[in-house]
Amino acid sequence: MENIKVEKQEIADLFNSLELLNKKRNYYFNFDKSFTCMILEGLLVNKKRYGHMTCPCRIANGKRDQDLDIICPCDYRDADVSQYGNCFCGLYLSRQKYNNKIPTSPIAERRPNNKILINKNMEEETQQDKKIFPMWRCNVCGYICARDDTPDVCPICGAEKDRFSKTKETVSE
């Protein structure tokens, strides 16, 4: 995969621009600033990669019309924060979780399966040198990643490597 660089200043600028706006709407960034900056970096990488800031915790298609529901803030944020006190990736917290420094908890994925799975009717890749990655799903929180092997630890819920299952779908580079 391509190595997309994001400068620390870009992350700081995004943090500052969104923090005030979010607080006015009763949304708060995760109080763990290093975690928040990691998620913001992922958003910026996806913006450079796809042209829009898709949630780094989900597999993006790269086509804006098919990624609309996972462009941050995603369509599922409000329901997640309302029901669980944090969104799926843990970037956004409710006021109560933020003020009381309550850690995020893994939550179920709300995104419909037909949007999670790679559309089999999509145009076939014409480049023969594209690498195919298997998709892995965390059995605890539903986090999905596309890579050769599972992560050692789930970046969302902290579940260990053996808590991941390989899905039937794959993603090309």
Domains identified in the chain and CATH numbers = 8-99 (3.90.460.10), 117-172 (2.20.28.10)
Model pTM? Answer: 0.67
Between 153 and 57, residue with greater pLDDT: 57
Q: What number is the average pLDDT over the span 3-25?
A: 90
The answer for residues whose C-beta is within 8 angstroms of residue 145's C-beta and 6 or more apart is 59, 135, 136, 151
Residue 1, pLDDT above cutoff 60: no
What is the per-residue pLDDT across 36-94, written as a single tens digit (0 to 9) for each?
999 999 999 999 999 999 999 898 988 999 999 999 999 999 889 989 999 999 999 99
Residues 44, 14: contact at Cβ < 8 Å?
yes
